[in-house]
Structures are given as C-alpha cells and as structure tokens.
Chain A
Amino acid sequence: MQNTNVALRFVDLENKMSLDEYNFEHFRTKHLLSDAKATVEERGIKPGEMAPDFELPRVGGGSLRLSELRGKPVILHFGSFS
C-alpha cells in the first residue's frame, strides 16, 4: 500500500531529482524529453489512489493541508510563474 503523505512518498520516489536538477538554470531539450517520458510512463498519482497529503504555505498568509478540503471535490493544479 502506498504512503498517503507526500514527505514519505518522496523518500521512495523513483526518478527523484536533486535540488539543483529540479531548479535548473536553463531550460534544455532534456527537460522537454523528461516531460515526454513522464507522460508516456504516466508518472504521478494513479486514478483511484488516495491523493498524498501535504501542507504548504499559502499566498496571503497561513498554510493549507490538502486533507482539510475532504468532503468537497478539489481541482489541484501545478504551475509555474514563468
């Protein structure tokens, strides 16, 4: 059974990137290929699985834990400023 917490899942994550790899200085072809590979492999949380819980700081102050929203459907989007 998969862990239902992001921090625990991260420890065992395959294809995990180091801090420098993740925060790259230049966008390169390898990043494009990595996204393509991740798409083909359907990397991420599988449908039907519990969404791993996390608590993150919120813009405007405070923080939010995903599990606090249980009882209502959630649209969870990941995006970059640039």
Chain B
Amino acid sequence: MSETCKVSAERRGDVAILWTDGYINNQGGEEIAREAYAQLDQGVRALVLNLEKTRIVNSIGISILIEVLEKVMDRKGVLAFCGLTPTIDKTFRIMGLAQYAEIFPTQDEALRKVSAQSA
C-alpha cells in the first residue's frame, strides 16, 4: 500500500505549474517543497499548485506547504492553488493558507492571475 504523492512540473515562462497526485502528508509535502524550491532556484517567480488529483491531505503536509508559501513570499513571488476539493479548500482556510495565497477553481484562472502578477 502506498498513497505517496507524486509531483510533476512544467514551466511556462516565469510561472511553474506543479501537479500533485495522491496523499499530501509529510512525504508528499516534502516532495512538493523539493520541486517548488528547484523551480524557484531556476528563476521561476510564480507557482501554481494544481491539486485536482489529491483528495486527502493532513496538517503536516499543509504545514510544509505553508513553509513553501513563506519562501515564495520572501522572494517576492506568487503562489496560487487550484483544483482543491471542498474539504481541502476548507482545511486550507482553517489553517490560514487562504489569507496568504490565492485559491482558484481552475488552473486557467490561476495562471491568468499569477502571470499578470509576476509580469
């Protein structure tokens, strides 16, 4: 049994899209952080995290996402989420992620907004 989260990424100009697939726990969170930091080190200014293939997260995974968000903010970058299930959306709002990062229903909307902000 493994629910380990897989992370894939694609760069589009100054923006990188990260897709997750699976359970975002401590391992999943670290996997996302590793990819996000690699993208930032390569000059990416904005990150879109698409979670449409993730139905379950835990607070350890979210705490790692908060660390990623802080690092992006330190670098004056932008981080946006999209494709959240209603439960994950609610949990992000409980923990305050929505106060510091924008949440969009679709990837297209997230891309439009962060591309404009990072230009």
A interacts with B: no
Chain B residues in the interface with A (C-beta under 8 A): none
Enumerate chain A interface residues (CB-CB to B < 8 A): none
